[in-house]
């Protein structure tokens, strides 16, 4: 009986413990579940919004150019752009633009009618997560600006600056936004890219003072960063010393051009130092004459070095009236004539537009210094050779001279000097022919620009074909095309 009682009380005790456990469990269940939910809840994924959203009118009616900076969001898909007409309008639309994290983006909205629009941008990742919207208000132009070559020059130069310039340094990349990461050794090309901007500056400085001021900022940065010169010598006071003599000649010509355009003498003074200390000191005289070597390790005194060397000397003489410069220019001229020049007008073999143009301009400058007709005769012959010889042409327009960063920029050297000769009263009938020739080239390029892709409106290596969007664009090709348009604007 005693044993039964003990068992009975033990069972009662166990039942009480079970009831107590259930009661306590029910009482704390809410808090326990909430804590568990918090632990199991996935972290909320956020997508950062775009920055620097802008909407600007273009020269085309009812068109807005949208630009922005993508966020540095991992797995970014792109940006959803939308427009909504304000003030009672009913028009709206949207477009998803793919883009990489951290990169700039652009898109052109051709709007259905004139009015004020709210432009909205939402960043989206690959999982469909969306950022908060960023909005701006903009109104497009009501009418299209009538076509002019100056307008097209504005567009081509804008593309060059927006897509290829490192604005913080004033120098240029070989591909848009430096996507190829191959711009370290782009030096002599910097001269011709900046020349395009200088010509644009001279054209707009009195009508667009704000843009002109921006250009002058780029000039200073280009100069301060020594035009991306990859050669560094602590004894070089200028920062422009380079092993390649011709590269320094091109840089000097642009430095002089900067002084001519801005009135700031420091650029030309720097060119003077570079020429005096690092260029002409490399020349030597033998039975072939006095000539400049291509670089410090090769004794090849070629036309593509002595032609710009001759032109630098002539320009320095005109600026500083030091007879030594004129003497140098004449000696280098004679060297090219006696060692490279051909009776048909070729300056070198094979004939390349940049050497034809540079030697022609050197001859033209010597004519205006000396008034000796032999120089103008040579100028007309060598520049006109490139405009008439099948070796320089394809279907009547300047040919594709190659896709390298050297070759693609050749035409940008020829064009300004051909324009100079065309505008020179002493050029006679050759000048008239050059105007027709250059305008034909420009019209061909105009027809082969993808205007709907603006500001990714790239020039091709050969102006008779449109740039293929599947290929990375070329700074050299863009410089050559923009140089042509700036040149034609000078002819208008």
pLDDT at 345: 98
pLDDT at 6: 54
Architecture of domain 51-138: Sandwich (2.60)
CA dihedral (12, 15, 17, 19) positive or negative: negative
* Residue closest to 303 by CA, chosen among 236, 363, 262, 229: 363
Task: Collect all residues with Cβ–Cβ distance below 8 Å to 398 and sequence separation of at least 6.
Answer: 353, 386, 392, 411, 414, 441, 463
pTM: 0.79
pLDDT at 22: 47
Own/partner long-range contacts of 393-402 (Cβ < 8 Å, ≥24 apart): 394/462, 394/464, 395/464, 396/440, 397/440, 397/441, 397/444, 397/462, 397/463, 397/464, 398/353, 398/441, 398/463, 399/462, 400/460, 400/461, 400/462, 401/352, 401/353, 401/461, 402/461
pLDDT at 344: 97
Q: Which residues of the chain fall short of a pLDDT of 50? A: 1-2, 4-5, 22, 24, 26-33
Residue 137 exposure: Cα atoms within 13 Å on the Cβ side = 5
Residues of the chain with CATH 2.60.40.10: 51-138
Residues of the chain with CATH 1.50.10.20: 149-491
Residue located via tokens 């309008």: 89
Distance CA 149, CA 359 (A): 27
Contact 473, 456 (CB under 8 A): yes
Phi and psi based region of residue 52 (left: phi greater than 0; alpha: psi -120 to 50; beta: remaining): left
Architecture of domain 149-491: Alpha/alpha barrel (1.50)
Distance CA 307, CA 340 (A): 10
Specify the DSSP class assigned to residue 468. P
Distance CA 193, CA 44 (A): 48
Distance CA 202, CA 334 (A): 33
């Amino acid at each position: 009986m005693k044993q039964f009682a003990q068992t009975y009380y033990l069972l009662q005790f166990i039942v009480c413990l079970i009831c107590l456990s259930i009661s306590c469990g029910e009482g704390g269940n809410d808090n326990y579940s909430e804590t568990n939910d918090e632990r199991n809840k996935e972290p909320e994924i956020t997508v950062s919004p775009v920055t620097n959203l802008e909407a600007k009118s273009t020269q085309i009616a009812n068109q807005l150019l949208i630009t922005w900076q993508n966020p540095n969001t991992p797995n970014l898909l792109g940006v959803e752009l939308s427009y909504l007409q304000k003030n009672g309008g009913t028009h709206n639309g949207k477009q998803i633009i793919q883009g990489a994290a951290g990169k700039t983006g652009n898109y052109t909205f051709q709007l259905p009618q004139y009015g004020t629009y709210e432009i909205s941008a939402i960043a989206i990742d690959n999982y469909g997560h969306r950022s908060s919207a960023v909005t701006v208000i903009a109104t497009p132009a009501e009418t299209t600006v009538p076509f002019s070559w100056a307008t097209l020059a504005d567009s081509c130069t804008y593309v060059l600056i927006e897509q290829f310039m490192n604005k913080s340094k004033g120098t240029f990349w070989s591909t848009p936004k430096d996507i190829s990461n191959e711009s370290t050794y782009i030096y002599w090309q910097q001269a011709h890219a900046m020349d395009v901007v200088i010509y644009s500056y001279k054209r707009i400085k009195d009508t667009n003072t704000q843009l002109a001021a921006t250009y002058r900022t780029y000039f200073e940065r280009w100069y301060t960063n020594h035009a991306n010169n990859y050669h560094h010598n602590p004894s070089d006071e200028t920062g422009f010393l380079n092993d390649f003599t011709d590269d320094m000649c091109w840089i000097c010509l642009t430095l002089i051009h900067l002084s001519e355009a801005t009135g700031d003498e420091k650029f030309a003074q720097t060119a003077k130092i570079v020429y005096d200390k690092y260029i002409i000191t490399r020349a030597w005289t033998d039975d072939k004459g006095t000539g400049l070597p291509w670089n410090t390790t090769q004794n090849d005194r070629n036309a593509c070095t002595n032609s710009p060397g001759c032109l630098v000397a002539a320009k320095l003489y005109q600026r500083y009236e030091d007879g030594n410069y004129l003497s140098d220019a004449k000696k280098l001229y004679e060297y090219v004539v006696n060692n490279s020049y051909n009776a048909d007008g070729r300056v070198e073999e094979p004939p390349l537009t940049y050497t034809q143009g540079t030697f022609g301009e050197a001859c033209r400058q010597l004519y205006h210094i000396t008034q000796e007709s032999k120089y103008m005769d040579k100028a007309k012959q060598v520049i006109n050779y490139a405009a008439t010889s099948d070796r320089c042409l394809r279907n009547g327009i300047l040919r594709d001279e190659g896709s390298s960063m050297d070759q693609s920029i050749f035409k940008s050297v020829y064009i300004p000097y051909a324009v100079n000769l065309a505008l020179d009263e002493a050029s006679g009938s050759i000048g008239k022919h050059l105007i027709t020739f250059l305008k034909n080239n420009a019209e061909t390029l105009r027809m082969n620009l993808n205007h709907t892709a603006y500001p990714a409106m790239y020039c091709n290596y050969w102006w008779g074909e449109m740039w293929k969007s599947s290929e990375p664009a070329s700074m050299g090709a863009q410089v050559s095309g923009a140089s042509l348009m700036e040149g034609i604007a000078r002819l208008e």
